[in-house]
Structure 1
Amino acid sequence: MILIILCIFALSLGNDVIASFRVDDVIVRFIVNATPILFPPSRVSLHLCQDFYDTIKLSRILSSNYLMHNIHNFYEELNPKIYNNLEHQNLYMLNLDCDYAIDILRQAHSKRLFVAPTKWLLFQDRRAMIDNDNNVNLTFTYNDSVLEIFEDLAIYPDSDVILARRFDGDFLELLSIYRPSSQKDVIWENRGNWTIENGLQMSTFDVASARRRNLQQTALKSCIVVTDPNTINHLTDFKDKFIDAPTKTNYPWILHLANRMNATISFEITNNWGYRTENGSWSGMTGMLERREIDISGTPSFLIPERIDVVQYIQLYTHTCFRFVFRRPLLSTISNIFTLPFQRNVWIAIAVFLVLVFCLLYLSIKWEYNRGRMTESAAYWNQLNPSKPTISDNLLILLGAFSQQGYWYEPYRVSSRIVTLMLLLVSMSLYAAYTANIVGLLQSTADSIKTLPDLLNSPLNLGVHDVPYNRHYFKSVEDPIRKTIVEQRIEPKGSKSNWMSIEEGVRRVRNELFAFHGEIGSIYQLTQDTYLEEEKCGLTEIDFLNVVYPLIMIQKQSPYLEIIKNGALKLREYGLKYHEEYHLYTRKPVCSSQTSFISIGFTECYFALVIMGYGILFSVIVFAFELLWHKR
């Protein structure tokens, strides 16, 4: 079902009478024929100052051709939303011969209705009229002074304003109107013509961003964020790569974009990206864009929900990110390596085997003892086994054989010898496998720290690069895990906060169990310069901010939006974008020499020392009880 909104206003009496013009069949056919090609799809708002009957006729024709429309015949406030929020479908048609045409144009200027994606189609009649009574050509007194108003209107490169000027017969000349900037004069583009016979003849089908790329030395403004004053001296020489790398990367890109648009550009300097203040305004570079003090940002910024309503982002990504970087800790610092050589089911099988061997050994030794005392060789047996074997003796035999430490017992009977032989063979195989795995585990690193909860619960100390954006994002987190990391590990109450320089953070990553949050390209550059080859192995990243790559920002509803978008695509297509990234951002170092000597310290021996300590404590307690027992 087609919704047709028809607003028909009759002419008022008295001093409010407005001159009406007849819209003949040529104009109607032009609207029906050319509008779907020039402005598809559109919802039309017509301001043609017609009389009542012509309005009815025009509405019926537009309806029969499925053009949704409304018609206004006297001056009134323009509605930026003709039907709904789909501004890209809004098309305003205005007859420049109407008495109130200039008022309509000025109102559109004040309401920013010439800004894309809103479209305008203007009509002007420049025909010579014929007096039917005398058959004499009379020149129609059209008023070209109305065109002078475009010198003061905000019709910039993004605007889509077409003027259809009708000459004799059914010939309509189509012109596009725009100004490169408020500093420049109006430019009239020849877009083609239309006749009933030939239809619409376009001179070019190039989009506005391609036709209007030349801004004729328009003066644009930008802003770069600098955290170190010395950055100004090294914007293009690739020195001090780890200082203000995003600014140094994007500065040449902005110059390339300006050159492509034939514009000049000047740079403001600030020390922060811009954040919402308590009174609702924006500071820094974002605030400059909101107040239209600059046209484009010279430093990329993260895409965050708060900024979407204030600025427009351009898909010119800077391939950098900010993460926690740390060396994977040795496995011995995370887990008990003495339990890792075998899986749990193997340990259970070993325990069952030892219990079974203990029982068989107990029975065989006891039977051997009783049997040996009754044989002819009892003297020899008593010499080897002077005392009756006990359960503790069997336990010591089992532990001595299993741990390859030796034992005092010498089996005498075949059955006990078989049990002892099987125990020694199995113990030897398990011991060889166990010790081989221990050697490998001592040199292994842990890969169990993969998420933020893992990082929070790990033995690693945490630190963050002390720059404005890190302080802002870390203090504004709402996620429970991230908030806990900030409160307990970054800014613990009663202790020194862990904000530091990038040099200190990279040094502590090298020498300690430490995770440092910063720009990874800068961290890896210092890593390449200061780490030994084997120290570059095991570097791991964990994302904390959870944001996409930073992007370029421009003004909301900027007149240069599409031109800059196309320029950004060309930078990537031509490879100019990757030139700066390649020179300024260091990739993750390649691990070329992973094997190195690892000294064994208390960390690796911790659990063995704990067992020995408990054993000593238990022996002291037993010894004390024995003393008390004998004194009694």
Structure 2
Amino acid sequence: MKSLFGIFVLYQIFSIGATFGDHILITKYCEAKNIHIGTIFSCQNKRDNMKKIISLSTVGLRFLNVDISHLHNQNFPLDQLDQVLNRNHYHLAVIIDSGCIDYADFAIQDKKYFYETYHWLVPTTPQNLNNSLNFLQKSPLNINSDVNVAILNGEGTKWSILDVYNPASSHHGQFTVTKLGLCDETNGYQAKIAGNKYWSRKNMTGVQFKSAVVVPDPSIKLNDYLTSDKNRQLHSMHRFQSVTVNYCREMYNFSLEIQRTNSWGYLTPNGHFDGLVGLLERRLVDFGSSPLIYKLDRMPVIDYSYGNWVLRSTFIYRRPKIIEASYKIFLRPLSRTVWICIVLMMVLLMLFLKVVFSREKRLLQKRNLVDSSWSFLFLFTLGAFCQQGATCHPQLLSSRTLSIFVFLFCILTYQFYSASIVSYLLIDPPRKINNLKDLSDSNLRAGIEDILIDRNYFVQTTDPVAIELFNKKIKFSNNNSGFYEPWDGLDLVKQGGFAFHVETSTAYPIIEETFTNEEICELEEVQMYRTQPMHTNLQKNSPFREMMNYCMLHLVENGLMYRLRKYWDARKPMCIESAKKFTFNVGLKEFSSGLIVLSYGILISLGLLLREVIVHKKVYIKDLFRKKNAKNAVQPFTN
């Protein structure tokens, strides 16, 4: 086989000018397409090729000129075709001389060279027109092709431009030729498609595509699944995507043969995919009617199009009641600094009361009504803080004034303290679970919706927090025990103490139907993985990707996509604050500190009572012996 340099009579990159008959056409075509580089397939002799390149050196367009006259009855290797047409440029012009069309069969070996980035121009004459169209009819054209045929008019400087495409050549589409415009030296290339190419070609004449939809439940009938919107909270993403694909079917006038599969598509031990991705990989279907999320392992085998569904899954749970140590509940309203200030103030008050009451006791000895002992002053001050009222009646103006301000200070402190406890019971407790790590460390049980996306997530994730949560709360001796159907998982959430990871489009309608307003107001959410779009999916290097993109964006522009999302993707249940019912249940745990303090007080008082009884008994016995000894004592005789 001859080398590439042997096949190419001329392989040089020059600036192209104009000395041959179609130079005006090529120049105006490149200006209209905004292309600066390309490939010309011709069969002229070496001298003419050299003149062509040298004479077309004034416009600034770089082309590779390939002489194909020696390729008759030879197979042009596909790898060498790649070297010719893969130029590492986004857009490339491809010019084929109609006089060489019989030698150009090699150019139609791969359909990718007729995709959007390749702009084909076939200059021809009325005599060669049928030959040129026959060549193109055998080519793998599709709706995305950009192929123009330029017919030279009699004057020699004007061209009639034809637009040539096939909606889907591999699906027996109808070869279509339409008059597009004219080209001349004065007016340039006046042959552009009015509007968007896919809108102009939207009539695909009923070609049939194959598609597949994910139906997780094998008992569901496919037709009912696709046509009914009953219980639309179940498998919303698949049914939503099927609806959008049906809009595209009506817009482009193609038909669909739909089959079912039970999986999105995950790698199997043999290195291939199952489910929807496997069908696309083996080219058994053209595109999916269920959306897919981006996964790196899928990128080599499928193409992604517009992401029209937003997947949001989250852990949903009722806000756990924060149960602190009982003594903290009573200490919570005041900070440590405030408590220290109150204790110091009580000490100071006791000192001032000691001075005032002692002075009153000395001045009013005949009317002594005030006890100035330290134990009494402690009881007086503590009683004032506990709103017990006065236990004595000071007589002097100074002692009465101090007592009034002691009671005033104590009532202000008591009111603030009691109001803080009530407000603590009234307001919602602060949120303690703010991320996945907090959820993993909490005492909540957890479960996962039984869908393949979440099962596969735990298989492939490298997030250490997610792995820790799975091993701690999801994975048990029976691995299936941590996965639940949506109704079962949300019923456990309703009971409390349980966090359930579920798609919001599935969970929200169930919550609205089964939860009370108070329970809805208690719900909190923590995401395990980010919200992400799910995309329309097609075969790798599919010629219909941009077609589907245009259809989906058209739905976005006219508002249909928003309407469909609003209909199929449930809104978050609203918490009506004004309708909340406040119920407080103070349990024994919260009340236990009061009982503990009372118990300590009883024990201490009993201990002190026992000690007092013993001391009193000892004193009584001593007095008894003393009296007895005094009675039995010998009295001295006196006369």
**Relative to structure 1, is the Cα distance of residues 349 and 614 closer, same or farther in structure 2, using a 3 angstrom cutoff?**
closer
Q: Distance in 1 between matches of 2:185 and 2:364?
A: 135
Q: Does 1:28 align with 2:23?
A: yes
Q: Distance in 2 between matches of 1:401 and 1:96?
A: 111
> What residue is the counterpart of 1:124 in the other structure?
124
> What residue is the counterpart of 1:507 in the other structure?
491
Q: Does 1:193 align with 2:188?
A: no
For 1:358-377, what aligned pairs fall within 5 Å after superposition? Answer: 358-361=347-350, 363-368=351-356, 370-371=358-359, 374-377=362-365
* 8 Å contact kept, 1:10–1:52: no
Q: Where does the alignment leave 5 or more consecutive residues of structure 1 unmatched? A: 1-5, 13-22, 128-141
* 8 Å contact kept, 2:137–2:175: yes
> What residue is the counterpart of 2:162 in the other structure?
175
CA displacement at 1:486 relative to structure 2 = 2.1
CA displacement at 1:262 relative to structure 2 = 0.5
CA displacement at 1:546 relative to structure 2 = 0.5
Query: 3-state SS of the aligned residue for 2:488?
Result: helix
- What do you get for the CA RMSD once the two structures are aligned? 3.6
For 1:115-514, what aligned pairs fall within 5 Å after superposition? Answer: 115-126=115-126, 142=128, 144-145=130-131, 147-168=133-154, 169-181=156-168, 182=170, 183-202=172-191, 204-228=193-217, 229-230=219-220, 232=222, 233-319=224-310, 321-330=312-321, 338-342=330-334, 344=335, 347-361=336-350, 363-368=351-356, 370-371=358-359, 374-377=362-365, 380-381=368-369, 385=371, 388-390=373-375, 394-404=377-387, 417-448=400-431, 449-491=433-475, 497-514=481-498
> Which residue identity is paired with 2:20?
D
**Relative to structure 1, is the Cα distance of residues 562 and 426 closer, same or farther in structure 2, using a 3 angstrom cutoff?**
same
**Relative to structure 1, is the Cα distance of residues 396 and 297 closer, same or farther in structure 2, using a 3 angstrom cutoff?**
farther
Q: Distance in 2 between matches of 1:395 and 1:570?
A: 83
* 8 Å contact kept, 2:312–2:530: no
CA displacement at 1:419 relative to structure 2 = 4.4
* 8 Å contact kept, 2:193–2:200: no
**Relative to structure 1, is the Cα distance of residues 147 and 509 closer, same or farther in structure 2, using a 3 angstrom cutoff?**
same
**Relative to structure 1, is the Cα distance of residues 10 and 374 closer, same or farther in structure 2, using a 3 angstrom cutoff?**
closer
Q: Does 1:599 align with 2:601?
A: no
> What residue is the counterpart of 1:46 in the other structure?
40
CA displacement at 1:415 relative to structure 2 = 5.2
Q: % of aligned pairs identical? A: 24
Q: Distance in 2 between matches of 1:144 and 1:475?
A: 59
**Relative to structure 1, is the Cα distance of residues 27 and 324 closer, same or farther in structure 2, using a 3 angstrom cutoff?**
same
> What residue is the counterpart of 1:106 in the other structure?
108
Q: Distance in 2 between matches of 1:292 and 1:195?
A: 44
Query: 3-state SS of the aligned residue for 1:282?
Result: coil
CA displacement at 1:245 relative to structure 2 = 1.6
> What residue is the counterpart of 1:130 in the other structure?
none
**Relative to structure 1, is the Cα distance of residues 526 and 115 closer, same or farther in structure 2, using a 3 angstrom cutoff?**
same
CA displacement at 1:269 relative to structure 2 = 0.8
CA-to-partner distance for each residue in 1:486-513, whole Å, 9 max, x for gaps? 2223225799843112112222222213
Q: Distance in 1 between matches of 2:22 and 2:64?
A: 17
Q: Distance in 2 between matches of 1:601 and 1:61?
A: 97
**Relative to structure 1, is the Cα distance of residues 313 and 425 closer, same or farther in structure 2, using a 3 angstrom cutoff?**
farther
* 8 Å contact kept, 2:316–2:526: yes
**Relative to structure 1, is the Cα distance of residues 95 and 437 closer, same or farther in structure 2, using a 3 angstrom cutoff?**
same
Query: 3-state SS of the aligned residue for 1:540?
Result: strand
CA displacement at 1:31 relative to structure 2 = 1.2
> What residue is the counterpart of 2:630 in the other structure?
none
For 1:77-116, what aligned pairs fall within 5 Å after superposition? Answer: 77-79=80-82, 85-86=88-89, 88-98=90-100, 101-109=103-111, 112-116=112-116
> What residue is the counterpart of 1:131 in the other structure?
none
CA-to-partner distance for each residue in 1:180-223, whole Å, 9 max, x for gaps? 22212422232223233443232643342122211111111211
Q: Distance in 1 between matches of 2:8 and 2:422?
A: 98
Greater CA drift, 556-565 or 302-311: 302-311
**Relative to structure 1, is the Cα distance of residues 403 and 95 closer, same or farther in structure 2, using a 3 angstrom cutoff?**
farther
Query: 3-state SS of the aligned residue for 1:546?
Result: coil
> Which residue identity is paired with 1:264?
S
Q: Distance in 1 between matches of 2:507 and 2:29?
A: 59
> What residue is the counterpart of 1:558 in the other structure?
542
Q: Comparing both structures, which one devotes a greater share of its residues to helix?
A: 2
Q: Distance in 2 between matches of 1:145 and 1:91?
A: 21
Q: Distance in 2 between matches of 1:492 and 1:460?
A: 15
Q: Distance in 2 between matches of 1:434 and 1:196?
A: 93
CA-to-partner distance for each residue in 1:448-501, whole Å, 9 max, x for gaps? 233333333444332221111121123322222222222223225799843112
> What residue is the counterpart of 2:636 in the other structure?
none
Query: 3-state SS of the aligned residue for 2:229?
Result: coil
* 8 Å contact kept, 2:143–2:167: yes
* 8 Å contact kept, 1:81–1:90: no
Q: Distance in 1 between matches of 2:570 and 2:455?
A: 24
> What residue is the counterpart of 2:626 in the other structure?
none
> Which residue identity is paired with 1:184?
G
* 8 Å contact kept, 2:35–2:93: no
CA displacement at 1:62 relative to structure 2 = 4.0
CA displacement at 1:319 relative to structure 2 = 4.6
> Which residue identity is paired with 1:599?
F
**Relative to structure 1, is the Cα distance of residues 430 and 227 closer, same or farther in structure 2, using a 3 angstrom cutoff?**
farther
**Relative to structure 1, is the Cα distance of residues 334 and 79 closer, same or farther in structure 2, using a 3 angstrom cutoff?**
farther
**Relative to structure 1, is the Cα distance of residues 407 and 81 closer, same or farther in structure 2, using a 3 angstrom cutoff?**
farther
CA displacement at 1:265 relative to structure 2 = 0.6
Query: 3-state SS of the aligned residue for 1:214?
Result: coil
CA displacement at 1:258 relative to structure 2 = 0.5
**Relative to structure 1, is the Cα distance of residues 498 and 625 closer, same or farther in structure 2, using a 3 angstrom cutoff?**
farther
TM-score, with length taken from structure 2: 0.81
Q: Distance in 2 between matches of 1:334 and 1:291?
A: 63
Greater CA drift, 271-280 or 261-270: 271-280
Q: Distance in 2 between matches of 1:334 and 1:293?
A: 64
Query: 3-state SS of the aligned residue for 1:64?
Result: coil
TM-score, with length taken from structure 1: 0.82
CA displacement at 1:227 relative to structure 2 = 1.9
CA-to-partner distance for each residue in 1:111-154, whole Å, 9 max, x for gaps? x3223322222233446xxxxxxxxxxxxxx5844643434331
> What residue is the counterpart of 2:623 in the other structure?
none
Q: Distance in 1 between matches of 2:611 and 2:278?
A: 83
Query: 3-state SS of the aligned residue for 1:161?
Result: strand
Query: 3-state SS of the aligned residue for 1:98?
Result: helix
Q: Distance in 1 between matches of 2:348 and 2:243?
A: 81
Q: Distance in 2 between matches of 1:242 and 1:219?
A: 30
CA displacement at 1:351 relative to structure 2 = 2.5
Greater CA drift, 308-317 or 491-500: 491-500
Q: Distance in 2 between matches of 1:622 and 1:497?
A: 56
CA displacement at 1:407 relative to structure 2 = 7.6
